[in-house]
Structure 1
Amino acid sequence: MLEDLADVKLFIIQARHDGVPPSTAVTSSSMVAYDYARGKYDILDGRAMHGDQSGMSADTAAKRTADLDAALRQRDLRLGFLVHDVSRMRRSAFDRLMRPLGVTRAQWWVIAHLSRQDGMMQIQLADILDVGKASLGAVIDRLEAAGLVERRPDPVDGRAKRVFMTRKSHRLLAKMQDLERAFNARILKHLGEADRDTLIRLLSLIRTELVDMQDDDTSA
């Protein structure tokens, strides 16, 4: 409901200013509303640059500015909910995809990270996955019992354990990757190559800010 209200708010603001009948505006593409908002505000630069307000009374101009500010705040709230929902729904869908292979989310998450950096220390893997050492230990115990990973002593610190993939887990990973390629083709089918590159760039910017926030919290 929040998303619908935000869209309607933007459309009505556009209609009032441009003289478009509200019924026409509401049935238009949401991109029209966003393009309109971007045209009145320099959003990318982070500054609210007001559009042409000539011929308006002070009260009308103030009301228009307040409406635009409220609409843009609603848009940012919508974006936050959308990022959260897409992440949650993608994880759930991928879990269902992996279920026939007999691996849980925690298990395929471990295998996926080991495929990027095999032989990580168990404590390092726990930090990356943001789970407790005991919880990760139980997951690795099950993976090891299934022959999917093996623990080896660290050559420098014999008390530390490193976790390695096995031939069996490499075969499992190949199946996972085949399923993931088909999965990504399905969920990204409406995005062109340029859209995907842009999405990666924008999400990477957000991720960088979140990492910086974590670093700030750690150093505080």
Structure 2
Amino acid sequence: MTTFYLVRHGKTELNIEERFQGGSIDAPLVEEGIFQAQQAGKYLSEIQFDLVAVSTQKRAVHTANYIVGENNFLHGATLKYFDGLREISFGEREGVKIDRSDEQTNYLRTNPALYNPSSFNGEELNDAVERAGAVLNQISDEHPDGTVLIVSHGALLIILMNYLLGKEKSKWREGGPLENTSISILERDSQTANYKLKSLNDISYQK
């Protein structure tokens, strides 16, 4: 059994401004985001991770560094960075103020089966879950009895988890949106390759 702790990055300037922050744009963590990451690190400090797998985007990298900095088993963890864990790309909408009256924005949030980002050159959700799912499957194959920390992004993580749990595409946003530095726990059975959700969007440690 591989146990994944999936963490969304800490709060950024673009989160506060409610702008699209996808796979081809970054903003630094704000002071609150740094504090969130440190709190998450303290909450997870007694867990010995066999691997820390991180999106190559700066907001995820910085969040991971704060979390790992609080861990009591630093000597046991290997950090690896994966492009496959980057956020969904929103194409020409990157950095643009989110308009909740927009049809495609609503589909993304409520019914991903109808989401079509072609008009703004965004990434197809199927492509996003396939690249990210391949990363988790690879890690699980390499660490069949391991405990792994994943630091990535909100939209990607919620659709990825629902995809791996076998839900139909219209339900890929169930349980979202994920809070900044929320912790979700997913297990993969090494024999059946099936995923099971143990915890979702936990921010109980935040003060």
In our comparison, the structure showing a higher alpha carbon Rg is 1
Higher relative contact order (CA 8 A, sep 6+): 2
Q: TM-score, normalised by structure 1?
A: 0.20
Q: Quick check: which one's helix share is greater?
A: 1
Q: Which has the larger share of strand? A: 2
